[in-house]
Structure formats: C-alpha cells, structure tokens
Amino acid sequence: MFDYDKWQEIFGTIRKNKLRTFLTIIGIGWGIFMIIILIGLGNGFQKGVTKGFGNWATNSGFVWGQRTTISYAGFQPGRSIDFDNSDTELLLSRVREIRYLAPRNRLGGWRGGNNAVRGDKTGAFTIVGDYPEFNKINVQNLKKGRFINQNDINGYRKVAVIGKNVVDLLFDEDEDPIGEYITIKKVNFQVVGLVEPVRNDGGEEDLNNIHVPFSTFQRAFGYGERVGWYAFAAYEHFNVSEVQAKMLTLLKEKNRINPLDEDAIGYFNLQEEFEEISGLFTGLKLFTWFVGLSTLFAGIIGVSNIMLIIVKERTKEIGIRKSLGATPLSIVSLILQESVFLSIVGGYIALIIGLLLLDLLSNLIPDDSIILNPAVSPGIALGSLVLLVIGGMIAGILPAQKAASISPIEAIRQEN
C-alpha cells in the first residue's frame, strides 16, 4: 500500500492526464454528493413537516362529543353528546392503558376568545380549564413559575398559567407577572406560571393560552360538571388506536350511543398521523438512496472505463513489468490503488462540498419554511466514506484483472 515506487507511478499518471483525472474524480464524487444533498434535504423536509406535531406526545389523541346519527335506546338521532366528570372517572378506572388523561374545557367553545383584564389593559385570549397532566401530553417550557398542580385542582384555586402573548399585552416590559392578578369574567386569577412552546415556530394557540385549574374553571364559569373534550396519552407499549377504541366503547355504552354510530364521538389520533408521515418519509429515504446509489454506480462504471483506458495505454509497461518478474498480485494492487485513491479523493471532496452546502442552506432557510435545518447524521457521512472505498475497489476490479492477464510477449508485439 505504501510502496514509494507505485505511488510515484500513480502521481505520474495523474500529472500526465489532468483532464481525465478531473473527470474521473467528478464521476465518482457526484454520486456521493447526490446522496449527501438528497438525504440532507429529505431530513430537513421531514423536520419541517413534523414540526406541526410541536410539543404534542406522538402517542396521544383526543376525544370529544358530537351529535348522534343513529337512534338508540329510545333516543332519536341528533342528540348532543356532552361528557362530564363521571365520564372522566369511568375512563380512569376502566382504561388502564391510559398514562395521562386531561379533561379540558374552553371558555366560549372551540375557537372562542374571551377578554382578560388587568388594570386598563384588555386582551382576547383562549381561556382553558386544565389538569396538570395536560403539560405531560402537550409539553411546554416553563419560563418562570410553575404549571397547574393537583393542589390547585383539589382546592379550586384561582390561579393561572399564561402564554407569552398574554404577558406582552397585559404587562409592562420590565414587569414580573408572577404573583400579579388578571381578571376573567369578573373573576380574579393570580398568575403562578409563564409558559412558552417547545417548538421554535411558537404556535399562536399556545402563545395566547391562559390555563386555569379545571375544577376552578367549572365552578367559576358555571360549567357544572361538564367536560369539553379529552386529551390523552397511552403508555409507550400500547397502541393508541386500541386505547382509543376502548375509550370510545366505554363512552358510547355510558352515554347510550349506538355502537355502530361512528359520528357521535369525534376523535383524533396523533400516533396514526405520525406513523403515516413516518411511512412517507421512509419511502422518501429509500427513493433518495436509490437515486444516490444509482448515480454512484454510474460513476463507478465511468471510473472503471477510464481505468480500462489507462490499462490499455500502459500495456507495454505492464508487459515489461511482468517480464521482469512482477507477479499478477502486484499488478492488480497497482491498478486497485490508483482506482481507490481517485475514488477517495473525488468522494471526499464531494462530501465536504455537500456538507458545506447543507450548512449554508440551513443558515439561509427561514424557520417557517417547509424545509428546516437540512443536515445529515455522522453515521451517514461515515457510511458515505465507506461507500467511497467500496466504489473505488469495484471500479478497479475489472481493469486490474485485465492488466493481470496481459502476456509480456503479446504486449511487446502490440506496441511494435
């Protein structure tokens, strides 16, 4: 491998044929470049699409009441389904697969905004009644203070956890909101925590939220025992769809809903959505590798053809070497060395250019783009380097065999 004479010959051949060497390097490097760029952009696209899941646990889902469409047990179609605290108790006692269950209420209903007042400042925000478990399902950063806890629920405490937009609108820039009061529907709530989304895009829904204890919400705003909807997360080793199906069966039975009525209870499964998107990106990655490896294979064929030309040009030289006692193995190693060397140089340059380009794109692409932080993992980069060596060896096998089979006498005759 480190035979000085062999390396002198290799570099001598390169110096004599600069254009051909350059084209050889381009041929083998283009495939690696395509793999790096396509996988990097694919990863960025996946990050951009899946960021919509934001802080939500992917093994979670939602269940809410709608209207019945099939008559059942003496009830006519069109009956509104409203959950209450007894439904919560039923689910907690009967569905052991649920890790977190968070009943929720929203003042004004879905998409409803309500005024929060502090002094002479007023803003329309989303007022939600929550349990502590909700921050396990939709994880948010606690910028200051704390989230709602079980003591708040048990004691019907009038406390609130607020988002960034609430702070910006109701408080002065240098003012600490913790311990201060805001008024909602003539009820005073003490601010105990400031939260912000985990994800970088900072969804408006989270930024505008005011979270109050669920029990306090029911009592303060006249909701009785009503539950608007449920957010839930299953234990990791359970399928969310199966847990959801069990919840729906129990809720239908308790609320006297026809088991065949698919529209009486609405539901949404984040795990299914996540798995569908994951399947899409798995297919995209396979396609990317197919395109990249096909391009690399084409480059290998090109390098192999060029090495065959080199062998033909050096037929007399190889014949003389063999007449002087050179073994077929030494001839093969010479050709393979040159092929692997050119492949590694071309591939390494392409790898560096590809990584630099991805880094440049990562800095130029805005945070709200569909492609977010395109990059490749160290494992992919290392795997690409392994492909370089393998590609170089494959490209040199046929030319090396051709060179090893040259007869010294025929080589001299061919030149004469």
User: Does residue 260 lie in a domain region?
Assistant: no
Residue 73 lies in a domain: no
Same domain for 280 and 410? yes
Spatial distance between the Cα atoms of 244 and 61, rounded to a whole number of angstroms = 8
86 with 230, same domain: the answer is yes
Residues 238, 145: one domain? yes
31 and 100 fall within a common domain = no
- Whether residue 59 is contained in a domain is answered as no
Q: Considering only the C-alpha atoms of the chain, give the largest distance between any 2 of them, rounded to a whole number of Å.
A: 107
Domain that holds residue 103: 82-254
38 in the same domain as 101: no
Tokens at residue 72, please?
A: 């059942």
Q: Please, how many CA atoms are within 13 Å of residue 374, restricted to the half-sphere of its CB?
A: 25
State whether 222 and 328 are in the same domain: no
Asked whether residue 169 falls in the same domain as residue 231, the answer is yes
296: part of which helix (H) or strand (E)? helix 270-313
Do 304 and 209 share a structural domain?
no
- Whether 265 is covered by a domain: the verdict is no
Query: What single-letter amino acid sits at 331?
Result: I
Enter the pTM of the model.
Answer: 0.65
Q: What is the pLDDT along the chain (416 residues), one digit of tens a residue?
A: 456 666 776 676 677 777 777 877 777 778 788 888 888 888 887 777 666 555 666 788 999 999 999 999 889 999 999 999 999 999 999 999 999 999 999 987 655 567 899 988 998 899 999 999 999 888 888 899 999 999 999 999 999 999 999 999 999 988 999 999 999 999 999 999 999 876 544 456 778 899 999 999 999 999 999 999 999 999 988 888 899 999 999 999 999 999 999 999 999 887 777 777 767 777 877 887 788 778 777 777 777 777 777 777 667 766 766 666 667 677 777 777 777 777 788 888 888 898 899 888 888 877 666 777 888 888 887 787 787 778 777 777 777 777 667 666 665 565 44
Q: Are residues 93 and 230 in the same domain?
A: yes
The neighbouring-strand residues paired with 106 are: 128
Last residue of a domain, one of 221, 254, 287: 254
- Judge whether 268 lies within some domain: no
Q: Cβ(32)–Cβ(389) under 8 Å?
A: no
Per the CB < 8 A criterion, the answer to whether 364 and 323 are in contact is: no
Domain shared by 297 and 180, yes or no: no
d(CA 144, CA 297): 56
Closest CA to 267 of 232, 238, 235: 232
Which is it for strands 140-145 and 187-197: parallel, antiparallel or unpaired?
A: antiparallel
Q: What's the start-to-end Cα distance of the chain, in Å?
A: 33
Which DSSP symbol is given to 155?
T
Q: What is the DSSP string of 37-62?
A: HHHHHHHHHHHHHHGGGTTB-TTEEE
Identity of the residue numbered 184: I
Q: Are residues 48 and 96 in the same domain?
A: no
Q: Which of 190, 225, 254 is the last residue of a domain?
A: 254
Number of structural domains in the chain: 2
Residue 204 within any structural domain of the chain? yes
Instruction: Give yes or no: residues 215 and 307 share one domain.
Output: no
Residue 196, in any domain of the structure: yes
Query: In angstroms, rounded to a whole number, what is the distance separating the alpha carbons of residues 307 and 266?
Result: 66
Q: From 190, 222, 254, give the residue that closes a domain.
A: 254
Q: Does the residue 262 lie in any domain? A: no
Q: At what angle do helices 18-50 and 378-404 cross, to 10 degrees?
A: 150
* C-alpha–C-alpha distance, residues 315 and 152, integer Å: 89
